[in-house]
């Protein structure tokens, strides 16, 4: 099945139609999004910074997890990574060179508070201060994610996300950041993709802290939902009134494996409740979506206290929608609790990325529509979307045709939603540079900018150049450019 970067090898055109379904809008240009639309790229501290023990930084759960034998592909870790800790001026210069208006990054909790709570590590906080000033000096609006998965190891030793006190720890940390940076950072996000760090970290055991326990999952899930709202309140209390407070959610369009089959349809509704609705609906005061998953409701009740339903609510200024693919769901009678499995793209023999995620940009449109349909939903921003395809340096260039096509297709799907009235205000490509892709190590490359991890040399890929041209006003023609390469 095609995962190739070279469209010319895909004579069937299957890859092209995956990127550009008939519904994809063309032609279009930046002007169609209006002057205030946010154009960015995103990254996260643990994945790019390196500098893992520098200037007083404490250890995080990922520093510990990457030491575990077999936890990470090829035994890789992120102690140096793309070395953003030292090379951020160069990376921000490149971001500006692409014409981005906004830059999203996260702070490493243990760089700011080495023990998770208590004394602040001033050099660590100073680093983010310089980074924020560096963004502003280059005309990049900084967007700061408070928590992108790197919990301080000292807090994990106290139970981490399974300890209800984590809500207070997070609020304290959020306020430290807000007090120092709130005069310059206009957009804040409390959590990055809670379902991923809770599910992959506490139930599946494939991310830090590597737990495989239903109890740990449920406790962490409830505490993360509480922390999301408490963190929002803590930020709002400490930030100037003009600052925008948001949070982000992972999500995927879900399709039954056998459309029309009652079991697969019901399994899809259960998966939707867990994967797309679980962290969103309590924020709106709708409670957890347990009607589809009664056993989950009974089990979760063990971790809830009187008054929690109220505490889970928060009126965010925006939601960050993060979408990479769609999932196909099949009824699975032997799987307790969910009775649903996701049928992998490889198994379905559809075009997919190196993450084994189906190439399906239309899911972006579907998810924006879905989130916007909630009564009282705030404004939306696509705070992540991206694609990992293999790429190579050839004569000083990186001809990453597939990523370029994905980027164009993703932006087109955002426009499609916007044209139908969805209040979506920004697009952030994941990621500015190649980086450490968690359990997959350095294998999958998502970046608009290639990183040679031996030399730390940066090379803007063709996808990055395409983004630059698009942002400079170059229109996407009616017959999308990469399509021409397909029918060879
Ligand atoms: O790299 C991750 C990121 O940390 C969170 N969202 C998904 C990306 C790709 O897997």
Q: Is residue 29 part of a domain?
A: yes
Cβ atoms within 10 A of the Cβ of 384, count? 24
Q: pLDDT for 283-322, tens place per residue?
A: 999 999 999 999 899 999 999 999 999 999 999 999 999 9
Q: pLDDT for 64-114, tens place per residue?
A: 999 999 999 999 999 999 999 999 999 999 999 999 999 999 999 999 999
Q: How far is the CA of 431 from the centre of ligand 1 (A)?
A: 9
Q: Is residue 77 part of a domain?
A: yes
Which distant-in-sequence residues (6+ apart) come within 8 Å of 256 by Cβ?
264, 265, 267, 268, 328, 329, 330
Cis omega (within 30 of 0) for bond into 27: yes
With the most atoms of ligand 1 within 8 angstroms of its CB, the residue from 76, 197, 199, 431 to mutate is: 431
Q: Is residue 2 part of a domain?
A: no
As a whole number, mean pLDDT of residues 318-327 equals 98
Q: How far is the CA of 307 from the centre of ligand 1 (A)?
A: 33
Alpha helix (H) residue ranges in 99-165: 109-112, 122-137, 153-156
Indicate the DSSP class of residue 35. T
Pocket of ligand 1 (CB under 6 A): 44, 47, 193, 322, 384, 430, 437
Q: Which of 281, 327, 384, 437 is catalytic?
A: 384
Percent of the residues in the chain that have a pLDDT greater than 70, as a whole number: 94
Q: Which of 193, 230, 292, 362 is catalytic?
A: 193
User: Is the torsion defined by CA of 314, 320, 326, 327 positive or negative?
Assistant: negative
DSSP three-state, residue 475:
coil
* pLDDT at residue 161, as a whole number: 99
The length of the chain is 488
Percent of the residues in the chain that have a pLDDT greater than 90, as a whole number: 90
Query: Do residues 188 and 228 make contact, with C-beta atoms less than 8 angstroms apart?
Result: no
Q: How far is the CA of 437 from the centre of ligand 1 (A)?
A: 7
Question: Closest ligand 1 atom to the C-alpha of 388?
Answer: 9
Q: Is residue 1 part of a domain?
A: no
Query: Do residues 403 and 422 make contact, with C-beta atoms less than 8 angstroms apart?
Result: no
With the most atoms of ligand 1 within 8 angstroms of its CB, the residue from 60, 193, 436 to mutate is: 193
Quick one: tokens of 460? 């803007």
Q: How far is the CA of 430 from the centre of ligand 1 (A)?
A: 7
Secondary structure (DSSP) of 362-401? HHHHHHHHHHHTSTT--EEEEEE---------BTTB---H
Question: Closest ligand 1 atom to the C-alpha of 430?
Answer: 8
State pTM to two decimals.
0.95
Average pLDDT, the chain: 94
Q: How far is the CA of 367 from the centre of ligand 1 (A)?
A: 17
* pLDDT at residue 481, as a whole number: 47
CA–CA dist 152, 60 (Å, integer): 4
Q: pLDDT for 237-252, tens place per residue?
A: 999 999 999 999 999 9
* pLDDT at residue 1, as a whole number: 46
Per DSSP, which regions of 114-206 are E strands? 141-147, 187-191
Q: Is residue 217 part of a domain?
A: yes
CA–CA dist 231, 176 (Å, integer): 12
CA distances from 475 to 122, 197, 217 (A): 46, 38, 46
Q: How far is the CA of 438 from the centre of ligand 1 (A)?
A: 8
CA–CA dist 333, 121 (Å, integer): 51
* pLDDT at residue 31, as a whole number: 98
Question: Which pLDDT band, with edges at 50, 70 and 90, does 12 fall under?
Answer: very low
Query: Do residues 181 and 172 make contact, with C-beta atoms less than 8 angstroms apart?
Result: no
Query: Kind of pairing, strands 326-331 and 340-343?
Result: antiparallel
Which phi and psi angles does 257 have, rounded to 5°?
-60, -45
CATH number at residue 100: 3.20.20.80
Query: Kind of pairing, strands 449-452 and 457-460?
Result: antiparallel
Q: Is residue 479 part of a domain?
A: no
Residue identifier of the C-alpha nearest atom 2 of ligand 1: 437
Task: Say whether pLDDT at 9 is over 80.
Answer: no
Task: Say whether pLDDT at 486 is over 80.
Answer: no
CA–CA dist 5, 167 (Å, integer): 43
Q: Is residue 34 part of a domain?
A: yes
DSSP three-state, residue 167:
helix
Cβ atoms within 10 A of the Cβ of 480, count? 19
Query: Do residues 124 and 112 make contact, with C-beta atoms less than 8 angstroms apart?
Result: yes
Q: How far is the CA of 366 from the centre of ligand 1 (A)?
A: 20
Q: Give the angle 264-265-269 at the CA atoms, nearest 5°.
A: 115
Question: Closest ligand 1 atom to the C-alpha of 384?
Answer: 6
Residue with tokens 């995962």: 3
As a whole number, mean pLDDT of residues 47-60 equals 98
* pLDDT at residue 487, as a whole number: 29
Residue with tokens 């032997």: 334
Residue identifier of the C-alpha nearest atom 1 of ligand 1: 437
Say how many domains are in the chain.
1
Task: Say whether pLDDT at 482 is over 60.
Answer: no
Q: Which of 11-25, 288-302, 347-361, 396-410 has the lowest mean pLDDT?
A: 11-25
* pLDDT at residue 10, as a whole number: 45
Q: Which of 273-282, 305-314, 333-342 has the lowest mean pLDDT?
A: 333-342
With the most atoms of ligand 1 within 8 angstroms of its CB, the residue from 78, 430, 439 to mutate is: 430
Q: Is residue 476 part of a domain?
A: no
Instruction: Look up 384 and say whether it is catalytic.
Output: yes
* pLDDT at residue 477, as a whole number: 85
Q: How far is the CA of 301 from the centre of ligand 1 (A)?
A: 30
Question: Which pLDDT band, with edges at 50, 70 and 90, does 204 fall under?
Answer: very high
Query: Kind of pairing, strands 102-106 and 38-42?
Result: parallel
Task: Say whether pLDDT at 484 is over 70.
Answer: no
Question: Closest ligand 1 atom to the C-alpha of 446?
Answer: 9
Question: Closest ligand 1 atom to the C-alpha of 386?
Answer: 9
Q: pLDDT for 426-452, tens place per residue?
A: 999 999 999 999 999 999 999 999 999
CA–CA dist 238, 183 (Å, integer): 10
Secondary structure (DSSP) of 212-275? --HHHHHHHHHHHHHHHHHHHHHHHHHS-TT-EEEEEEE--EEEESSTT-HHHHHHHHHHHIII
Which distant-in-sequence residues (6+ apart) come within 8 Å of 70 by Cβ?
none
Host domain of residue 200:
14-471
Q: How far is the CA of 143 from the centre of ligand 1 (A)?
A: 16
Query: Do residues 398 and 364 make contact, with C-beta atoms less than 8 angstroms apart?
Result: no
> For the chain, how big is the Rg over CA atoms in Å?
21
**Which residues on neighbouring strands pair with residue 255, listed in sequence order?**
328
CA–CA dist 389, 387 (Å, integer): 6
Residue identifier of the C-alpha nearest atom 9 of ligand 1: 437
Indicate the DSSP class of residue 275. I
Report which of 299, 396, 345, 379 is spatially closest to residue 38, judged by C-alpha positions: 379
CA–CA dist 275, 250 (Å, integer): 8
Residue identifier of the C-alpha nearest atom 10 of ligand 1: 437
With the most atoms of ligand 1 within 8 angstroms of its CB, the residue from 108, 147, 196 to mutate is: 196
Task: Say whether pLDDT at 198 is over 60.
Answer: yes
Instruction: Look up 281 and say whether it is catalytic.
Output: no
């Amino acid at each position: 099945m095609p995962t190739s970067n070279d469209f010319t090898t895909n004579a069937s055109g299957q890859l092209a139609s995956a990127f550009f379904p008939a519904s994809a809008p063309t032609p279009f240009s930046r002007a169609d999004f209006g002057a205030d639309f946010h154009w960015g790229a995103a990254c996260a501290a643990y994945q790019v910074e390196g500098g893992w023990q520098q200037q007083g930084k404490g250890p995080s759960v990922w520093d510990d997890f990457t030491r575990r034998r077999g936890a990470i592909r090829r035994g890789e870790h992120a102690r140096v990574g793309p070395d953003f800790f030292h090379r951020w001026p160069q990376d921000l210069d490149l971001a500006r060179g692409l014409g981005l208006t906004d830059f999203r990054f996260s702070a490493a909790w243990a760089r700011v508070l080495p023990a998770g709570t208590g004394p602040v590590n001033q050099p660590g906080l100073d680093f983010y201060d310089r980074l924020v000033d560096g963004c502003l000096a280059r005309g990049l609006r900084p967007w700061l994610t408070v928590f992108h998965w790197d919990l301080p190891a000292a807090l994990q030793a106290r139970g981490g996300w399974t300890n209800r006190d984590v809500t207070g720890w997070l609020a304290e940390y959020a306020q430290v950041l807000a007090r120092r940076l709130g005069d310059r950072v206009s957009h804040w996000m409390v959590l990055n993709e809670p379902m991923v760090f809770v599910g992959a970290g506490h139930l599946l055991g494939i991310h830090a802290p590597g737990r495989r326990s239903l109890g740990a999952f449920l406790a962490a899930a409830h505490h993360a939902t509480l922390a999301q709202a408490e963190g929002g309140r803590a930020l709002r209390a400490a930030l100037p009134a003009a600052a925008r407070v948001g949070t982000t959610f992972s999500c995927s369009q879900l399709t039954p494996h056998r459309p029309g089959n009652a079991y697969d349809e019901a399994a899809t509704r259960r998966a939707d409740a867990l994967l797309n609705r679980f962290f969103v609906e309590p924020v709106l005061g709708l409670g957890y979506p347990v009607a589809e998953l009664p056993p989950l409701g009974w089990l979760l009740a063990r971790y809830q206290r009187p008054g929690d339903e109220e505490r889970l609510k928060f009126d965010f200024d925006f939601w960050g929608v993060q979408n990479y693919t769609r999932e196909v769901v099949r009824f699975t009678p032997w799987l307790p609790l969910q009775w649903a499995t996701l049928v992998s793209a490889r198994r379905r023999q559809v075009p997919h990325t190196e993450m084994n995620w189906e190439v399906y940009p239309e899911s972006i449109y579907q998810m924006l529509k879905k989130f916007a349909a909630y009564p009282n939903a705030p404004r939306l921003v696509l705070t992540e979307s991206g694609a990992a395809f293999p790429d190579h340096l050839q004569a000083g260039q990186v001809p990453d045709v597939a990523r370029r096509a994905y980027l164009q297709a993703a932006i087109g799907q955002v426009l499609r939603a916007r044209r139908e009235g969805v209040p979506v205000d920004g697009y952030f490509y994941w990621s500015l540079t190649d980086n450490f892709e968690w359990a997959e190590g350095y294998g999958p490359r998502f970046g608009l900018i290639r990183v040679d991890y031996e030399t730390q040399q940066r090379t803007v890929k063709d996808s990055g150049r395409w983004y630059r041209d698009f942002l400079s006003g170059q229109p996407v023609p009616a017959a999308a450019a990469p399509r021409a390469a397909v029918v060879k």
